Chains A and B, each alone.
Chain A
Amino acid sequence: MSRLYLYGVTRPREIAERLVDQGITLVEADGRAAIVSEVEEGPVEATRRNLLAHADVVEQLHEEAVVLPARFGHVLESREEVFELLALPEIERLLQQHEGRCELALKGSYEESVLAEVGAELQPLRDAYRAEPSVEAGIALGEAVGQELAERRARDESLVLDALGPLVLDAVVTEPAGELGAFDLALLVERDRVEPVEARLEELGARLSPPLHFKLVGPLPPYSFVRLGLPAVA
C-alpha cells in the first residue's frame, strides 16, 4: 500500500505536464481534490529540496485556482485517509472562503543607517561610550538603541497596515527575523487587489526609504490563513 505525501487541497482539474512527470496526482472526491505524490517508508525530512519542492507544487497550482497549502510533512497512509480528509466540512468551507484570494508576504528591513537615526536622541549615552568604550557603556548605549528601534518598528508596521487599509482582508503579524528586520506580515487579499496593494507600497516606500526597504512576495497560496478548527484526536 502506497503512502501519499500531501501538498494541499484544491479543486479537481487538469494539472501541468511538468507536475505529472514528477509524480504529482490529484485524488478527487465531490468537487475537492488532494494534491499528493507517493513517498517511501520513513519520515519526510525538512530538506532544502523537499521544502522547495512542496512550495513549488502548491504555488504553481495556486496560479490557476484556489489551493489550501498543507503544512510541510503530512503523510497519508492510504487513499481512504485522503477521502476522509476531503470529506471534512472545514475543507469545503476553506476552499470557498479562499476562492479568488491570495496571500502576500511583506517583509520590511532597515539599512544600518537606521541606527544613527534612532541613536540621534541618545547623545549622553553616545558621549559616554565614545569617551570610554567599555563593555558597560556599550551595553547601556546598545540597549537604548534597541528600545528606540523597537518603537521605530512598531511605528513603521502601523504605517504600512494603515496605508493598506481595507485592501487587506486579514493579516498575520510575526516578529521580524534579524537585528535589522522591521516587520514580517502575511496579508490576505483578493487576487484582483494585488496591483493596488503594490501601488500603495511603492508610494509608502518612496516616503520611508532609506532606511526602510520592502520585500513583497506573492500572490501566494494562503499559507497563513488555513488554520483548521478541528477537534484534537489522540
Chain B
Amino acid sequence: MTRAPRSSGLADVLEILLDRGLVIDAYVRVSLVGIELLTVDLRVVIASVDTYLRFAEAVNRLDLRASDDSRSVPDLFEEGGEELAETKTKGAVEGGMDAIKEKIGLGGRGGDDDDDEERSGSRSRGSGNDR
C-alpha cells in the first residue's frame, strides 16, 4: 500500500479541489475559469475502441507469455493500437495542463511551479476570458 499523509501533487488535489469542498456561491461571488473542461479531460473514457483494442492486445500478449507460445502477434497492429492511444492520452493531459498555467499567486507552499513558465504561451481550451 502506498501511503501519504497529505496531498502531494497536482493529481491528488485537482479533482478534490475543483469538485469538492464547501460551496457557498449562494452568498459570495465565485470566480472559476475553464474548470469544467479541465475535469472532463482528466477522466479517461473506458468504453472506447482504443481501450478495447489495447485490452485485447494485452490479454493476448500476457497469454502468450504465460503459455510460452511463439510471439507471432502482428507487430504492425500492436504498435498501431498503442500509438493511437498514446496520442489521445497525451492530448487530454496537455489539455488539462494548458488550463493549469500560472496567473496570480495565492499563499501557501504551492509546490513546484518550475514548468509553469514554459507553458505560459498556451491558452486553456474553451476559456476565452483569460486576462
Interface residues of A (CB under 8 A from B): 5-6, 8-9, 18-19, 22-24, 37, 39-40, 42-57, 59-60, 68-77, 81, 84-85, 88, 94, 105, 112-113, 115-116, 119, 122, 126, 129-130, 133, 135, 137-139, 141-143, 145-146, 149, 174-175, 177-179, 186, 198, 201-202, 205, 213-220, 223-224, 226-228, 230-233
Contacts and interface: CB of A to CB of B under 8 A. Distances in A.
Contacts, number: 291
Contacts of B19: 71
A142 B60 contact: no
26 contacts: A22-B107, A22-B108, A44-B31, A45-B104, A46-B32, A46-B33, A48-B102, A50-B106, A53-B110, A55-B6, A56-B109, A70-B22, A71-B17, A74-B23, A74-B28, A77-B28, A105-B7, A112-B58, A116-B62, A119-B62, A130-B60, A138-B57, A177-B42, A214-B2, A220-B6, A223-B20
Contacts of A19: 107-108
Interface of B: 1-10, 12-35, 38, 42-44, 46-47, 49, 51-60, 62-63, 66, 73-74, 77, 81, 99-111, 113, 116, 124, 129-131
B6 A217 contact: yes
Given A37-B107, A138-B53, A51 B17 contact: yes
B100 A47 contact: yes
B54 A142 contact: yes
A77 B28 CA distance: 8
Contact of B106 (A54, A202, A224, A233): A54
